[in-house]
Amino acid sequence: MSIILNIDTAVQTSSICLAQDDQPISVKVNPSQKDSAAWLHVAIKEILNEHHFNFQQLDAIAVSEGPGSYTGLRVGMATAKGLCYVLNKPLIAINTLQMMASAVRGKHSDLLCPMIDARRMEVFTAVFDQELNFVLSPVNLILDENSFQDLLREKSILFFGNGAQKFAQVVKHPHALFAAIDVDASAMVELSHKKFLKAEFADLAYSQPFYGKDFHSSAKQSL
């Protein structure tokens, strides 16, 4: 049995999820990401106390490593690393886009495409199959009507996340599907549990948030 604390501060909200093996025990969500630093430590103490756990009973700390909000990622990573250091527990890093895709597995589409809003027509994105394998690795993309056309010719794709609305305004392909999805740290549970079983732990000294790379337009990259 494993008890894992999952922390996400990368998306629009901040949230934590206490999990036993691959099952969530309890979730706390703060709608305002701006006060993540103040909220996070209080929420962690509360969720442990409410379910009669102490810090030493945690087997690992998992954190969404990005891409996402610059400040949010720094807060989440610093909190997770600090707890791991003090408690001598392993750190598990979860890609934020894969976490988002985990939240919509089983939806009626061939592929899953989470999008995190950047600015203008820019998004952080990736494409996954229904087994959460990468079809397109995480990329910072400038969207236009030609984005994802190669994939859309063969597969239906569900686009979601706070960046998907921008793409809905320009794409007209019948295989492009859209959904409004709320994502919190409970979507990390299955992913963090699998990494725990495989002992796929992040380096506590050198782990840092994944902020993304230079932006690419679809004119430069076949999608």
Q: What is the DSSP letter of 203?
A: P
> What are the beta bridge partners of residue 113?
159
Q: Residue 63: pLDDT above 50?
A: yes
User: Apex CA 116: angle with CA 84 and CA 166, to 5°?
Assistant: 175
C-beta separation of 114 from 160 below 8 A:
yes
Q: What percent of the chain has pLDDT over 70?
A: 93
Q: Enter the tokens of residue 24.
A: 């969530």
Q: Mean of the per-residue pLDDT values for the chain?
A: 91
Helix, strand, or coil here: 29? strand
pLDDT tens, position by position, 68-111: 888 889 999 999 999 999 999 999 999 999 999 999 988 789 99
C-beta separation of 40 from 15 below 8 A:
no
pLDDT tens, position by position, 181-215: 889 999 999 999 999 999 999 999 999 988 875 54
Question: Which pLDDT value is given to residue 118?
Answer: 87
Which band of pLDDT confidence, cut at 50, 70 and 90, is reported for residue 217?
Answer: low
Question: Which pLDDT value is given to residue 184?
Answer: 94
Give the integer Cα–Cα distance in Å for 142 and 160: 16
Task: Give the residue-averaged pLDDT of 143-154.
Answer: 94
**Strand 157-160 with 176-178, pairing:** parallel
Give the integer Cα–Cα distance in Å for 120 and 142: 8
pLDDT tens, position by position, 26-36: 999 998 666 77
Amino acid at 178: F
Give the integer Cα–Cα distance in Å for 78 and 96: 16
Across 38-99, the runs of DSSP E, i.e. the strands, are 60-66, 91-95
pTM: predicted TM-score of the whole model, two decimal places: 0.90
Q: What is the DSSP letter of 106?
A: T
C-beta separation of 184 from 27 below 8 A:
yes
Question: Which pLDDT value is given to residue 220?
Answer: 42
Give the integer Cα–Cα distance in Å for 145 and 148: 9
Alpha-carbon Rg for the chain in angstroms: 17
Structural domains of the chain sorted by starting position, each given as residue range(s) with its CATH number in brackets: 3-96+184-197 (3.30.420.40), 98-178 (3.30.420.200)
Which band of pLDDT confidence, cut at 50, 70 and 90, is reported for residue 38?
Answer: confident
Helix, strand, or coil here: 190? helix
Query: Looking up tokens 């229904």, which residue turns up?
Result: 130
